[in-house]
Structure formats: structure tokens, C-alpha cells
Amino acid sequence: MKIGKVYLVGAGPGDPGLLTCRGRDILQNADVVVYDRLIGAELLALCRGDAEQIYVGKAAGRHSMTQDEINEVLSDHALRGSSVCRLKGGDPFVFGRGGEEALHCLKYQIPFEIVPGVTSAVAAPAYAGIPVTHREVATSFAVVTGHTKEGAPANLPKADTLIFLMGIKALPQIVENLLKDGRAETTPAAVIRWGTTTEQQVVTGNLSNIEERIKAAKLTTPALIVVGDVVNLRKQLQWFDDSAQRALWGKTVVVTRAREQASSLVFQLSDLGAKVIQCPTIRIVPLENYDRIQNAIDNIASYNWIIFTSTNGVDAFWEQISERGYDARLLANAKIVAIGPATEAALAKRGLKADLIPATSISESVADEMIQKGAAGKVLLVRALQGREVLQEKLSEAGMQVDLAPCYQTIADNSGAEEVRELLQEGKIDWVTFTSSSTVKNFVDAIGEDIIKATRESFRVACIGPITAKTADENNLSADVIAAGSGTAELAEAICDAVK
């Protein structure tokens, strides 16, 4: 049997956006993913649907597997011909025991690759507004393990900035050794917990009071320690966990949009400081057959207007065009309607400029604007298999012939529902967002009416458009905020305004 390959991939310090492009590509294509305790669900969501996921996490005093057992997992799967992604927090070679795992692969002549990751030793201080070097303050830094086989490290390097990883339990001994080594009690110190994530907590002080302060803040692992004058720069450089700059810091927001469509909203909310929980209530899937869309493409010259209702419609339509050997020139004689700015952008990527971008995404308004624009003749409506019939009906009433061209369909998706259900019951959700009526209905089905009624007072609801808001109202989820426009940017802005 052909031997597989082991990829030792650094996942970065916690923020999923800090995974390298190479790491992402390997994760998306691996047969087996062997992952650590600090790997978040957002990274595991990148795995192939049929990939085997094996948890081998270690916490202080609690190991799901010994290192020898982890090594055997890697070699067993690789020797069966599998592509194995060993996903490790931070960087594989920075106190990550990646060297031991690589040597184990070498023992069995298994090919391996090292994919460096962003180490928390640099990233967590950066997200806390603490540069590990600064020309006027620190010209050197050293990274030290917080615990050795003998306990806290005693032989400390001579560097302006010291970063201790995995040292929170050994902090008293670390402080004692730093004072013995000649550091003053007034030397600034910081402890950063869950650095680079929306759970980030930072406690600052100096060597004389840092222990007392982290006890008062009840900081526990995972955390790292920074010692040196650079800690004082946090007062000026704090950015990530600063609610003045990031209005949604400390807020937890649920995004119910299909995972394929959610990326822009997730990015916008995250950029504003929110902790985003993805609970996709619908999933985009292919049609059982494409006869109607293929027939429309073959007769595209007969259409005067083509309406695209979503980015999914654009993507699926273009896939069918490409498969039939056509390109954008096929649409040269038709006027194009793009519903929403994201749909407009998706068309622009294909070299097409929309002739009409309705002010709202409401079907009634779209029809009115088209009629005012002088629309007539034959219209092709590119959309999902499921959808409101209002647009087709209003255009038909105005004398137009409207052909539906479904090119994808949506189905209910309950992935993420269990986590959201638990968080709702614990009162840990601040906002739930809805972008369509189907997301509302499927959310209620996935979470359960009883839980929604019992927890409704603990969270707020934000909707795109009055139709979605009406559906929310009918399902005991009355909207606290309704976005002015049809885009995700307007939705994020509306939540921000409400929080402010």
C-alpha cells in the first residue's frame, strides 16, 4: 500500500484568521485531522466532510492521549495511505513537540512537511497592544517555557522582553526567579488569557503585584506572561479589546445565514469586536436536475431582462454557462437586474455591469422599479428552487412573460444548533441575526419554540428587511433592529448603532 504523508501544521494562536494559506489548503484536503485542545470549531469547519477528526488535546494534568499514543495515531493512519493533518496550536516547533512527531515519522520512513504557524508568543502580546520589541524600549526578546521537568525555569535569558508560555501555574516561582536574577519589583508585567480571540483577557501590573491581580481577575489557563517595559505601551496601543474602537467587543452574535453566504457578515461583525457563533439554518445544495436553467441558457437571446436574486444564483448560473461552453458575451443583449450589493459585486467579477440595482430587495419594490424603468417583453428570473412568487406575479400582471430558472436549492441545516441552544439557556447570546424568512423559520425549528420563548428576553434580534422582520414577529422573535438596506454591512451597522 502507498504510504501517506503527515503535515505538521501550525494553526496559529486562536484567531482562525491567522491560519496560513498553506495550512488552510492542507486542512481542506486531508483525509485525517489530528487536532489539539485549543483548535476552534471555525478551523475544524474547514475540514472535508468525510475527513476523520481525532481529538488528542492536552490540558494541565489531563491528557486525552500521551505523546507516544499521538505519535502512533499519526503513523498508523499514514501507513494506511492517508493524508494526515496534525493541527497544532501556535507553531509546531515552538514548545509544540512537533520535532518529536517529525522524528517519529522519520522512524517509519513516512514523508512529512512542516507548516509554520503564528506563535502566540508574538501574536497574543500584539493583540493586547504590547509589541515584544520597540526601538526605544526593547531591542531583544526571548520566549521561555513556563514549566520544565524540574519546575519553573531558573536559568533565564538576558533579554529586554521575556515571554513565558504555559507558565500561569508557575507564576510565583517565575516572579521569584526573575527577582533573584536582578529584575526590579517595579518591572512591568502582563498576563494574557485566550490571546487573539474574543475571549481575550489582559491583566497588567508589575512583578510585585501581578500575582495578586490575576488572582483577583480569576485568570486561568490558557495564558502567557510578558515581562518588560514594553507592557507599558498597552495604554497607548490597545486596539483589539478596546470597546471604544470596536463597538461590539464583548458581544456574542449568532449568524443564521447559510455558511456559503455568511463570510461577509461574519467578517464585519468580527471586525467590530463581536464573538460570532455560526448557526447556519439553511444549506445550499445542487438541484436534482438542471433542465430548466439549461434550456434558458440555450435560448438566452430571447430574453429582454435577466434578474439575479443572490450571489448563489450568480455562481450557479455561471457554472452552468461554463459547462455549456459559453461566457459573459452570451448575455450581451439583455438588461441585467442585480438584487443587493453582493449580487452586483458577484456579477462585476464576471465582467457584467448591472443595468438596475433596486433600492431594496423586497420583491414588490423590485417589480415597481423595473416597471418604472420601462421593463417589457420576456424576463428570466434566476433564483433558488424555493422562493416567494410575488416578483413573478407582479411582472406578469404588468404584461411581461416571466420564466423561472432555478439553479440551486436550499435545505434546512441544524449544524450549530446544539451549541446555540445551550448558550441561549445560559444567557450568553446578545444578538441573533436573520437575513431571510427561511432563516427565521429554520432557526425556530432547530432551536425549539419552548427554548426561544423561555430565553427571548435575554437576547436581541436584528433582521434585514421588513419581510424578514414580519416573519420574525410571527415566530416570537420580534425584531429589535431592522437594517435600512439589504446588505450585510447595513445589518452590522444597525446592530452597532443599537449597541451605542
- List, by residue number, the catalytic residues: 36, 58
Measured distance CA(217)–CA(221) in Å, rounded:
13
Taking every pair of Cα atoms in the chain, the longest distance, rounded to a whole number of angstroms, is 89
- Tell me the backbone φ, ψ of residue 62, rounded to 5 degrees: -135, 110
Measured distance CA(86)–CA(32) in Å, rounded:
8
Sheet holding 401-412, edge to edge: 282-285, 401-412, 378-384, 305-308, 335-338
Give the residue among 489, 406, 420 at the shortest CA–CA distance from 458: 420
Burial of 114-126, coded b for 16+ CB within 10 Å and e otherwise, reads: bbbbbbbbbbbbb
Give Cβ neighbours of residue 61 (< 8 Å, ≥ 6 apart).
none
Measured distance CA(71)–CA(115) in Å, rounded:
17
Measured distance CA(178)–CA(376) in Å, rounded:
81
For residue 345 the three cell numbers come to 459585486
Cα angle 234, 88, 275; round to 5? 50
Following CA atoms 164, 170, 176, 179 in sequence, which dihedral angle do they give, to the nearest 10 degrees?
A: 10
Give the residue among 381, 384, 367, 400 at the shortest CA–CA distance from 436: 384
CA distances from 138 to 162, 174, 402, 457 (A): 10, 20, 69, 50
